[in-house]
Amino acid sequence: GGADVGGLSVEEARGIVRSEVVAPLSRPVTVSFRDRKYRLTPKQLRQRADVDGMLDEAVEVSRDGGIVTRLGRYVSGSEVDADVEARVSYDDEAVDRFVEKLGDELSPTPGRDGLAVRAERMRDRIIEQVESPVGERTLRAGVRRIEPEVTTKELAKEYPTYVTIDRANFTLRLFKKLKLVKKYTIAVGQVGYDTPEGEYSIQSKQVNPYWYVPDSDWAGDLAGTVVPPGPDNPLQARWMGIFDGAGIHGTNEPGSIGTAASHGCIRMLIPEVIELYDKVEVGTPVYIG
Closest CA to 5 of 75, 67, 60, 71: 60
The string of DSSP letters for 148-166 reads: -SS-HHHHHHH-SEEEEEE
E strands in the chain: 29-33, 36-40, 48-49, 88-89, 114-117, 138-140, 143-146, 161-166, 171-176, 179-185, 188-189, 198-201, 204-207, 211-212, 226-227, 236-243, 246-250, 260-262, 266-268, 285-288
Angle value at C-alpha 51, between 49 and 54, nearest 5 degrees: 105
Rounded to whole angstroms, what are the CA distances from 218 to 135, 192, 196, 213, 263? 79, 11, 18, 10, 9
Give the residue numbers marked as catalytic: 249, 265
- Sheet strands side by side (includes 36-40): 36-40, 29-33, 138-140
